[in-house]
Amino acid sequence: GNSVTQMEGPVTLSEEAFLTINCTYTATGYPSLFWYVQYPGEGLQLLLKATKADDKGSNKGFEATYRKETTSFHLEKGSVQVSDSAVYFCALTANTGNQFYFGTGTSLTVIP
């Protein structure tokens, strides 16, 4: 079946620290992979995506590379800011169906 596993939170970092949030997946077919971000009190917003192996998605200083050999899509940012404090969700959609599958979310707090 299809599923996403992402690292447990919460994660607390100091401003300008390096961020990694791990995400691994199980999927039938050839999935597309996404990172969504949810700011307090809001709905989810797409942060970045990758639709095939070795693609790198990037946005707002965040990056993630679609690694088929390790079935991973880890989110990274070189220098986090207080404004990056949010919950981050890894997700996939497999081309075998019409469903999106989300991980459990990782809460990030960045302190000044």
Partner 1 sequence: NAGVTQTPKFQVLKTGQSMTLQCAQDMNHEYMSWYRQDPGMGLRLIHYSVGAGITDQGEVPNGYNVSRSTTEDFPLRLLSAAPSQTSVYFCASSMDGSSSYEQYFGPGTRLTVT
Span near partner 1 by CB under 8 A; candidates 14-22, 68-76, 78-86, 100-108: 100-108
Query: What is the C-alpha to C-alpha distance for residues 91 and 102, in angstroms, rounded to an integer?
Result: 4
State yes or no: residue 95 binds partner 1 (CB under 8 A). yes
| Per-residue b or e along 90-105, where b marks 16 or more CB atoms closer than 10 Å to that residue's CB | bbbbbeeeeeebebeb
State yes or no: residue 35 binds partner 1 (CB under 8 A). no
Among 105, 108, 109, 110, interactor with partner 1 by CB under 8 A: 105
Among 21, 23, 75, 94, interactor with partner 1 by CB under 8 A: 94
- Is the bond leading into 10 cis (omega within 30 degrees of zero)? yes
User: Residues interacting with partner 1, by CB under 8 A?
Assistant: 30-32, 34, 36, 42-46, 49, 51, 89, 93-95, 97-105
